[in-house]
Each structure stands twice: as structure tokens, then as C-alpha cells.
Structure 1
Amino acid sequence: MTEDIKNPIVLQRADPFVYKHEDGYYYFTGSHPLYDRIVLRRAKTLNGLHDAEETAVWWKHESGPLSQLIWAPEIHRAEGKWYIYFAAAPDTNIDDDTFNHRMYVLENDSDNPMEGDWIEKGEVKTGMSTFALDATIFYHKEELYYVWAQQDLEIEGHSNLYIAKMENPWTLKTEPVMLTKPEFSWEIQGFWVNEGPAVLIKNGKVFLTYSGSATGVDYCMGILTADADADLLDPNAWTKNEEPVFQSNEANGQYGPGHNSFTESEDGETILVYHARNYTELVGDPLYEPNRQARAQKVEWDEQGNPIFGEPLPDDRWTPKTPEVLK
């Protein structure tokens, strides 16, 4: 029997990603609020992640394209090895306010990703030379897919979502296909954004969640749905919800829930992992405000086999409310 999840599951880690591995461990990573490293921790339970020892497995470069704003790492298992996907910006960002991220991959052939060497496999090139971030991968019908957010300068907004098949875990083999762009009012508050994709395959369907708007109180989750037998590279195979499926809830004290991932409970139930703040009065630049805490809760299902995310639940554990980064 799975124990009740106590939130937050990890303090001060935005863009949380949890991978449940066959070795019985949950592996956790997320954006460190200093944006200078990639961290990992593991535990036998989701609740255990809270106090698990954390290890920095990679640090930003002193200069060059991998030297600034390390964002949204995800850890995956593919072709018998571990991979971490993340976005990084060049040090030229220091001189202006333009984000210029690209997407990169690390590889580790150890059984335990907390050990061994993480090798830089380089940039995942999409054929578009624009702001790109938030990559995720998934297998479907023995094909490896890559989904990510990227800007198209000919489309209004900051990022759209794209999909492609992969030749290997660091190389695309098909041209990018755009699945969604920010268009509804809840996707364009503060910034015009579709980002943070996460894939869930269940009940004969492929669900692709994502986040919209700026990362404050307006941040929320949307969803695309395709039939599991459809051509996932065909934009017409996907149906986009016109309303958000997960959003701020004042009664529960949860604001800006989003940038989610999916995992399973110890007994196989679908678990939504996401970040949110529990207050709205931010001090300083929201980008460097550290208190987007990682949270998790069970997903319910309707009679048609579609996920019901409900409301972000109130906190069970203490959280910091000051702009200092915890050690």
C-alpha cells in the first residue's frame, strides 16, 4: 500500500522530474535556484526524496554556450544508459536580457546514475537556431521521440511545442513538427508560452501536458491528447484542450502550478509531479526567487480514460518563504 504523499516532496527545486527505475529507486532532479549545476537525489519512496542526500553531478562551464542559466534537467533511461536533458545559455546573456538557451544531453553508462561519469554528448540540434528548452523523451511502439519547446521568430510568442523521432538519444532523425503554440488567454499572461512538456501513455491514448504563461500566479497546465495508434508526428492527430487542466488554487494556498512530470506510486498509480509556490508576494526578480517547491499528487481518471488532475493540494510540510537559497 502506497503511503500518503506529503508535500512538498523536495524544497526549492523548480521544474521537478522523477524517474522510477526498476532498481526500486525514485530518481529526482530539477532546476537548482542558482542555475549553476545539475543535481540528483534518490529514495525508495516519494516521501523519502525530501530528506535524501543530493549530489551535484554536473556544473556549468566557466564560459561559452554551457555557462549560464542551467534549466529544467530531466533524467531518462534509454538504450541501456542514463541520459540527462537540460537547457543552458551562453555567457553572452550577461550583457542583455535575451534568453538564448539551447538543449544539451549528458550520458552515463553506470547502473547507478549517482555514480560514474556524466559525459557531455553535445547539443540536440533541431535545425532551428532559436531559443530552445524543456526537452523530454519517450518511447512509443519501439520508437524514441523527443518533445521540446522552441521559439519561431515568425510566430508570435516565446515558445511553441515540437515533436520529432530520434536516431539516438542525442540526435533527431525527423524534421520538427509543431504541435501547439500559445493562443488562449491562459497561455499568454506575462509571456506567450507553451513549455515544459510531459508525456503520459495510458488507456490507449497519449497525453502531452505542458505549461503556459509566465511562471508566477498565472502559470498553469494544458493538455494535448492523441490516440495511441495515431501518427504522433501528425499535428492533426492531437486534440488540444481549450481550458487549463491544473491551475492556481487560493483556497489551498498553491500558486503557479506547472512544469510537471509523471511517475508512478509504489503500487502503480499515476502520480503528477509539479512545482508551485504557496505565496504570491515575491521579493526581487521572479526568476531568482527560489521557492517554487516540488510537489506530487495522485491522478484520477474519468470514464473515458482521461486524466483528472483536480486541484493542487495544500502543503503538509514546512516551506521557506524568504529569498535565501537553502544549503
Structure 2
Amino acid sequence: MKKNFVGAAALVTACFVLIAATGKAQVAPAKYPSNKTVKDYPHTGEPPMPEVHAILDEPLRDVSICKGGDGAYYLTGTLGPQFMTDNEGIKLWRSKDLKNWQPLGLVWGIDRDGTWQKQWTEKNGQKRRALWAPEIHYLKGNYYIAYCITGLGTGLLRSTSGKPEGPYTSVNKPDAPLTKGIDASLFQDDDGTVYFLSGSGMISKMNSDMTALVTKPVQLTCVPDSDIDHHHPSRPCTQLNHVGFEGVFMFKRNGRYYLSCAERYFERYHCMTAEATNIMGPYSARYVSVPYAGHNTFFQDDKGQWISTLFGNDADAPIQKHAGLVPVEFDKDGHIRPKVN
């Protein structure tokens, strides 16, 4: 996409002028040089990556993996080929070694199992009804899948059999979206409290049986990043303190909360991460933790090795719209980076 060039510094200044003049932040989209491609941008702040290869033949976006109660790994993601507008629902794969994956089939289908999810919506004249970003979690001895439906909102499914292949049903009654927005996720804290996250870092506390939200969604924020080239082109000036613009995920290690989101960093689709010692923040300045791995999940294997998923959503990504894995490590300051050796 070609856009007229407006210097990042000038645009940031304009943001603050708008705020000062009106008392309210107004939308001022970022603009990029029209004579450069993605590969012309510097790799400022991007750590090196190991080789990444697809682990499944089936095209997938927004890849999620969790370790189940049986010790196996379970994988899901947004189904193609019409990722953005129309797909079946949720498929699941199982593996014991993260290399060989057994398909478990369609564990939840929009037409077969849906209620409110069956509704078609329209955006820019195009009809759509797709299930995006299913994310599987094993919590409290059962399997849950968080997801969203285009134009309708987020939802949460629970296995009625206690098995990863389901069948699945909505946790809330009456069956309705849990929140507005996209890209749902779950996080369980050390005390057993489960939080429901979505979008660019919206968070709510769930009740003990995970059937409802008990707090209104609030936006988690980090130290503002004023470089416009580090943000999605549609980023309003008021959102420079978001970790990213979509694809939220959270985990905890050594008492530290890691909040990750996808961001268009120099037009690449990176995983950005910020950290805090309190779940509600304040969160640190964000950084590129896993290049090209926007909208990912983190998990540990049998040996305790931390791993990030990756699906590839920009021209420079090592794979394109397929499931991949990136081993990660933590530097002396506890920050995430790819494990190259």
C-alpha cells in the first residue's frame, strides 16, 4: 500500500498539538514513505531469528498451542483459505512431540453448533462470517477455547466431556458475546483467578466457574512509544501507549507478567511485549520480543523450554500463513528474545 510521507516526528508533534488545542486526542493516522518497500526499512530493535519452518500443511493464521492435561500439545488457529470473511469454525490438532500432528477434525462448527455466531455482518460492502483466532487453554482440569466472530464480538467455549476434542458449548447463558471486539485470550494467575483478555489488551476478571465476567473490561497500557513507524498506520494518537493493536496474550514467569500484542513495527507484523509486577500495570516500555510472530501464544514444552508460535503475516516473514514455532529465552533482565543457538 502506498501512502504519502509525513515524518514521524512531525506526526507525533501534530498529535500533541491536537490534544493541546482541543483537550481531546484526535485520530491522526501514520503515513509511510511512498518510495520504500518493507525490506528497505532498518531492523532497529529487532533481535535475530532462528530458522522457522511450517509444522502443518494446512494454512492457518493466529496459531495457538497449549499443553493439555494428558501431556500432549494441542494446536488451533484461524482457518483458511477465506480467513477474513468465511470459514467453518474451529479445527484442532494433537501432537506428542511438536513435530507430528494428528488432526482431530472440526471440534466446533459455526453452522453445526452456533447460535448468535451464525449471523452474517457486512464491512465495506463485503459480507462476512468468520471465526477468528481460536485459542485453546487447559485450565482448572478442562479445555477452553476463546475466539471471536467478525463484527459480532468474543466468546468462550468449554469442553462438556473434559476432552480436548469436545464437544464444546458456550460458558455463558444465555448464549451471547462476552465482549465486543476481537482476539480473545485467557490467563490464570497463581491464586487461580482467571482473566479474559481481548484486542489490544482489554482485561476483565472472570468468576470462579468461568461463566461470566465480574469486572468491566479495561485497557492495559504501557510506556508510550511515540515513533509512528512502530505502530499500525491506523493508530490513533491516543493509542501510542498500547502494547499493540491486536492479538493479545499474557503469561507469568518469576513473578513478572508478560503482556504481548501484535504490531506493525516498520510495517512488519511483530510480537511486542511489555512487562509488569502487577497484572493491571503499570507496564514497561514495549519491545520486539519475537520478530514476525504477531498474534502468537507462548507455552513450555516437556523440558521447560519456552516456545512462541508464529504464522507469518508480512512480506519478510520466514513462513506465510502457516503454523511455525520459535524457541525463546530470557536475557539477564528477563526480557524475551528468540533462541538462535
With the length of structure 2 as denominator, give the TM-score of the two structures. 0.67
Q: Is the 8 A contact 1:5 1:46 kept in 2?
A: no
Q: Is the 8 A contact 2:289 2:335 kept in 1?
A: no
Aligned counterpart, 1:188: 231
Q: Which amino acid aligns with 1:244?
A: V
Aligned counterpart, 1:264: 300
**Cα distance, 1:25–1:244 mapped onto 2, change above 3 Å:** same
Residue 322 of structure 2 corresponds to residue 293 of structure 1:
yes
Cα RMSD, aligned residues only: 3.1
After superposition, residues 158-177 of structure 1 pair within 5 angstroms as 160-167=200-207, 168-177=209-218
CA distance in 2, matches of 1:209, 1:272: 11
1:191-233 CA-to-partner distances (Å, cap 9, x unmatched) read 436211112211221111110139x952112112011xx2x23
Residue 149 of structure 2 corresponds to residue 84 of structure 1:
no
2:107 to 50, 57, 68: 57
Please state whether the residue corresponding to 1:23 is helix, strand or coil.
coil
After superposition, residues 228-243 of structure 1 pair within 5 angstroms as 230=278, 232-233=279-280, 235-236=281-282, 238-241=283-286, 243=287
1:169 Cα deviation after fit: 2.3
CA distance in 2, matches of 1:24, 1:277: 30
Q: Is the 8 A contact 2:156 2:178 kept in 1?
A: no
**Cα distance, 1:198–1:21 mapped onto 2, change above 3 Å:** same
Aligned counterpart, 1:8: 54
1:80-128 CA-to-partner distances (Å, cap 9, x unmatched) read 3221111113xxxxxxxxxx230012221324222x42113333534xx
After superposition, residues 272-291 of structure 1 pair within 5 angstroms as 272-276=308-312, 279=315, 291=320
Which structure shows the higher strand fraction?
1
1:105-160 CA-to-partner distances (Å, cap 9, x unmatched) read 2221324222x42113333534xxx5x111111111221111111xxxxxxxxxx4
**Structure 1 stretches lacking a partner, 5+ long:** 90-99, 150-159, 248-255, 282-289, 314-327
1:263 Cα deviation after fit: 1.4
Aligned counterpart, 1:206: 257
Aligned counterpart, 2:160: 109
2:193 to 143, 150, 158: 143
Q: Is the 8 A contact 2:259 2:274 kept in 1?
A: yes
1:278 Cα deviation after fit: 8.1
Residue 94 of structure 2 corresponds to residue 42 of structure 1:
yes
After superposition, residues 237-252 of structure 1 pair within 5 angstroms as 238-241=283-286, 243-247=287-291
2:168 to 114, 118, 122: 118
With the length of structure 1 as denominator, give the TM-score of the two structures. 0.70
Please state whether the residue corresponding to 1:259 is helix, strand or coil.
coil
**Structure 2 stretches lacking a partner, 5+ long:** 1-49, 119-128, 236-243
1:265 Cα deviation after fit: 2.1
**Cα distance, 1:187–1:102 mapped onto 2, change above 3 Å:** farther
CA distance in 1, matches of 2:160, 2:176: 19
